């Protein structure tokens, strides 16, 4: 009996070793094939190629085949990302990602050149200064959009519902983001506009809530997360906690079960349970979706607007030996209900689209905010 058991175990072990060996052999064969293809291209292609750039493109292709957010950063691009360039380079004020080889606008940021020009979440950038974007990496496309403050750039856009491409001429500026703004609406509605989740957002939201509570007879709140592309997970958790007394806020699941995590709200709602409406749209992504999703799942808020973007993944920057780095998706977010945000987003309780072509957040054309105010006023 013991001999038979040992024989079975040995057979399984032998099969396992053969499987591992076969997988390793296949990988080495693929590496050899890649080298052969590169050699053929170098010798036979109609034009001379830069082998270093070709290798970078191959690495990028591998990463972008995983998801729209993983990417390779060359040493130059990684260094630029790490270096403070205050006043040296100008930007447009948009958060972008890659989809099907084309740069996609996740969200324009409030009061920036892109926002003022009329760029919208979900727009596809097909040309930058008449240079085709298709085939370029996200890092390369972002690099093309950078330039000196005061210099001009032309973006060619494809937009859902528009038959023809749209062209936007924009002047680059130094992008300074004020992530939190608040004011009193209709004498008793506390309005908080959150445009990003940076390291100070939690403290600023807390201060704004406390100031509104002290100075005014606040009966309800509007938390505006439209065109907020996200940011730090820690700040999303902190801001969600301001409106909750208990319960799960968000969880992350990675490849290794030991690295899975859950975060919970602590006791104490800064707004004392007052009626809360959260405004979202297609430009609400990542950390915005965590806050909106948690408040919806706990029935703490009414969500109003449009379906959110659907970026429910966590990226890490991993340095490489060549002084470059890769941005790699290492985990996914899950709402308290257990639902994943990825590719699905968070749906509003009350769906209200933008009614005007001239729609601008927090202006007379903002029908979503106007509807929220009417709802709170009964």
The residues that are catalytic are: 286, 297, 311
**Phi then psi for 287, rounded to 5 degrees?**
-60, -35
First to last CA, the chain: 79
224 and 192 Cβ atoms separated by less than 8 Å: yes
Please name which of 101, 71, 60 lies closest in space to residue 329, comparing C-alpha atoms: 71
Q: How many CA atoms lie within 13 A of 198 on its CB side?
A: 10
């Amino acid at each position: 009996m013991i001999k038979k058991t040992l024989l079975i175990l040995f057979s399984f072990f032998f099969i396992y070793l053969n499987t591992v060996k076969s997988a390793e052999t296949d990988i080495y064969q693929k590496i050899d094939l890649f080298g052969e293809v590169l050699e053929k291209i170098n010798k036979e292609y109609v034009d001379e190629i830069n082998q270093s750039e070709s290798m970078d493109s191959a690495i990028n292709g591998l990463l972008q085949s995983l998801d729209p957010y993983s990417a390779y950063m060359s040493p130059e691009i990684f260094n630029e990302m790490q270096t403070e360039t205050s006043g040296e380079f100008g930007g447009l004020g948009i958060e972008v990602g890659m989809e099907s080889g084309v740069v996609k606008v996740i969200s324009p940021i409030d009061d920036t050149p892109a926002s003022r020009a009329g760029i919208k979440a979900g727009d596809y950038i097909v040309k930058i200064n008449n240079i085709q974007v298709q085939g370029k990496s996200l890092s390369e496309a972002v690099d093309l959009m950078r330039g000196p403050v005061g210099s001009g750039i032309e973006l060619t856009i494809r937009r859902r519902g528009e038959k023809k491409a749209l062209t936007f001429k924009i002047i680059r500026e130094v992008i300074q983001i004020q992530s939190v703004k608040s004011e009193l609406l209709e004498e008793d509605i506390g309005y908080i506009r959150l445009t990003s989740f940076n390291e100070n957002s939690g403290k600023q939201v807390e201060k704004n809530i406390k100031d509104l509570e002290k100075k005014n007879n606040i009966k309800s709140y509007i938390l505006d997360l439209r065109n907020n592309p996200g940011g730090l997970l820690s700040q999303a958790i902190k801001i969600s906690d301001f409106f909750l007394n208990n319960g799960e806020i968000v969880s992350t699941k990675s490849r290794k079960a030991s690295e899975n995590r859950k975060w919970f709200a602590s006791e104490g709602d800064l707004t004392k349970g007052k009626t809360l409406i959260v405004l979202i749209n297609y430009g609400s992504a990542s950390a915005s979706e965590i806050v909106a999703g948690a408040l919806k799942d706990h029935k703490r808020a009414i969500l109003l607007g449009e379906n959110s973007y659907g970026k429910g993944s966590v990226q890490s920057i991993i340095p490489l030996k060549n002084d470059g780095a890769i941005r790699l998706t290492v985990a996914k977010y899950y709402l308290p209900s257990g639902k994943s945000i990825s590719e699905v987003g968070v749906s509003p309780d009350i769906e209200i689209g933008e009614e005007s072509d001239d729609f601008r957040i927090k202006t007379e054309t903002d029908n979503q905010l106007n509807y929220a105010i009417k709802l709170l006023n009964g």
